[in-house]
Amino acid sequence: MISRGSEMFKEIKEQMRGGKGSVEITHILKQDEINGKARLIAKVSLNPGCSIGWHEHVNEEEIYYIIRGKALVDDNGEKHELNPGDASLTVGGKFHSIENIGDDVLEFVAIILLYV
């Protein structure tokens, strides 16, 4: 199976999970294309000052892998700056948020894996 960038579903979410500004989500693969083992595999873009608000993962975990820009991740109450090549993992029952604290667009891959 090939997933072409020009055919991927893109959406804009405003104040996602109580965050600031707009979030652009490019769905790399859909849940039904990956046999339900993941809920989300996407490239996420945040403009400077934009964020995804503090939220919990239940019966799933989320990985952020930074491609471009500078992020501030709140990992269950501990704040960390992430740069290209860095990753974070939030397991089930824990909370996190992410904010673009740089001057350029923040791009990262987000993967939500389901506990099955």
Contact status, residue 66 vs residue 86, Cβ threshold 8 Å: yes
What is the per-residue pLDDT for 32?
81
- Ramachandran angles phi, psi of 32, nearest 5°: -70, -15
Q: Would you say 66 and 84 are in contact if contact means Cβ atoms under 8 Å apart?
A: yes
pLDDT tens digits along 63-115: 999 999 999 999 999 999 999 999 999 999 999 999 999 999 999 999 999 99
- The CATH superfamily holding the domain 7-114 is Jelly Rolls (2.60.120.10)
Residue 11: alpha-carbon gap to chain centroid = 13
As a whole number of angstroms, the distance between CA 72 and CA 116 comes to: 30
Query: What type of residue sits at position 96?
Result: H
Which two structure tokens, joined as six digits, stand for 22?
Answer: 């707009």
Question: How confident is the model at residue 54, as a pLDDT?
Answer: 97
- 50 Cβ partners below 8 Å, 6+ apart? 19, 20, 21, 22, 23, 99, 100, 106
Rounded mean pLDDT, 49-69: 97
**Residue 22: which pLDDT band, with cuts at 50, 70 and 90?**
very high
Classify residue 16 by burial, with Cβ atoms within 10 Å: 0-12, 13-18, 19+. buried
Instruction: Return the domain boundaries, the chain.
Output: 7-114
